Amino acid sequence: MLAVLAPGQGAQKPGFLTPWLALPGAEARLRWWSALASVDLVHLGTEADAEEIRDTARTQPLLTAAALLAAEHLPMYDVTVAAGHSVGELAAAAFAGVLSPDTAVTLAGVRGREMAAACALEPTGMSAILGGDETEVLAAIEAFGLHAANRNGAGQIVAAGALDALEKLKAEPPTRAKIIPLSVAGAFHTPFMAPAEQALGTVAGGITVAAPHKILLSNRDGNAVDHGPTVLRRLVRQVTAPVRWDLVMATLADLGVTAVIELPPAGTLAGLVKRGVKGIEIITVNTPDDLDKARDVIARHGAQPTHEPHPEFRVVVSGAAGTFEPAEGLDEGHELRDGQVIGAVVSRQGPVEVTAHGAGTLAEWLASKDDPVAPGQPLARIGGAL
C-alpha cells in the first residue's frame, strides 16, 4: 500500500521550483495559480531568497502549488493514501479529490494571508523541543502557558505561544530536552490564529467539495475522513488546532503502508517517517529527475483504493484502528438518516463514532461486532445515499 505526503511550512528552499519550469505547461500552470493565490509563484519558486519565501502569506500557496505540480506528473490514481502536514493538508485533499487543485491553491492563498495577519497582532512564536520525556515536556509546555502546536513523533514536539513564555521555557527546559527557537512569524495551530480560522471559514463556506476517493488522513487525530464537508471543516479548524503528525504516522503503520512518496520540497516528512515507521520504502521527489523513481514505487506498491463509493452506494469506512461495534438493534434493510450513528470503532484513544453521511438503506454490513478494523476499512454499504 502506498501513501503520498505533502510537506508543510518550513520545507521550502530558495530556487526549488526552477527545474520544474522545464516541464511542458509547468510555467503556465504556476502563472494561473499565481492569479488565484495573489502571489507570483514563479518568482517565489525560482528567484526569491530565503527571507522572501519565509513570509507565511507567500510560503503557503507556494508549497501547495509545488506539491500539486509534481502530482500532475504522476499516476496518482494508483495511490491509496494521502496525507499532508499543516498547509500540506490542502494539497492532500486535492490528491484525494475533495478539492480541485485550483481551489486548494486559492484556499492556501487565503490561509497564508490571514495567518500572516493574525501573527502581526501579538508577538508570538514557536520552538522545537527535541528529546526529553514526553509527559514531562507536555507538562512544561502547559506550565509556561504555551501550546503543543505540533507533535511530530520521533521525540519532537513544537511549543507555541507568547515570546516571553518561550524564553522562559528555553531558560528552564525539561530534563534531557533541547529547545530550538524556530524562525516563524507566530504561534501557528494555537488560539492565537483564531482570526485567521474565522476568515478562512468564511471563504470555505462557498466551496463545493466531493467525497475523497482515497484514504485521506487528518492531522487532527490521524483518522481517515471519508466525507467531503467534514474534510473541509477540519481544514478550517486546523488553523488553530494542533498538528498530530505522530498519529498520522501511527495510522500509516496500522494501515500496513509499505511505501511513501514525499512531494516537493521533500525531506522533512521523509525524515520523520524514517524514524517513526519501520520497514517502509521512502521516496523523496525534489526535481523532475526524481519522477521516474516515484513512478516505479507507485507501480510496485500502488493499487486502486478499495473504499471508493459506487455510483449507487456509499461505503462507510472506519476512521481509526480498533474493533468495530455496530449500533444495537440496527439491521440490514433499516432506513438511515443523514448523520445517524451506526456504530463505533473502539480505538486506543477511545470510541470513535461511525456515522452515515447521507440518508439511505443499510444494504450490507461489511464488518461484524468485535472485528478488528483499520483506518479506511469499509464497515457498511448504504444504498440510495448521494
Active site residue 218: no
The pLDDT value recorded for residue 210 is: 92
C-alpha–C-alpha distance, residues 170 and 177, integer Å: 10
C-alpha–C-alpha distance, residues 314 and 310, integer Å: 6
Active site residue 189: yes
C-alpha–C-alpha distance, residues 362 and 381, integer Å: 6
The pLDDT value recorded for residue 355 is: 87
Q: Identify the sign of the CA torsion 40, 43, 46, 51.
A: negative
> Which of these is catalytic: 86, 127, 218, 347?
86
> Which of these is catalytic: 85, 147, 189, 227?
189
pLDDT band (50, 70, 90) for residue 384: low
State what percent of residues in the chain have pLDDT above 90.
77
Query: At 360, phi and psi to the nearest 5?
Result: 165, -170
212 burial type by CB count under 10 A (0-12 exposed, 13-18 middle, 19+ buried): buried
What's the one-letter identity of residue 329? G
Kindly state the cell numbers that stand for 380.
Answer: 457498511
C-alpha–C-alpha distance, residues 355 and 375, integer Å: 14
Sorted by where each starts, the structural domains of the chain and their CATH numbers stand as 2-118+191-301 (3.40.366.10), 121-181 (3.30.70.250), 313-383 (2.40.50.100)
Which residue has better confidence, 348 or 27? 27
Mean pLDDT along residues 159-179: 96
The pLDDT value recorded for residue 100 is: 95
The pLDDT value recorded for residue 309 is: 43
Tell me the pLDDT tens digit for each residue of 272-319: 999 999 999 999 999 999 999 999 999 999 865 444 443 456 778 887
| Separation of CA 372 from chain center | 25
Which residue has better confidence, 204 or 363? 204
C-alpha–C-alpha distance, residues 265 and 262, integer Å: 8
Average pLDDT, whole number, for the chain?
92
Mean pLDDT along residues 333-359: 87
C-alpha–C-alpha distance, residues 227 and 159, integer Å: 31
132 three-class SS: coil
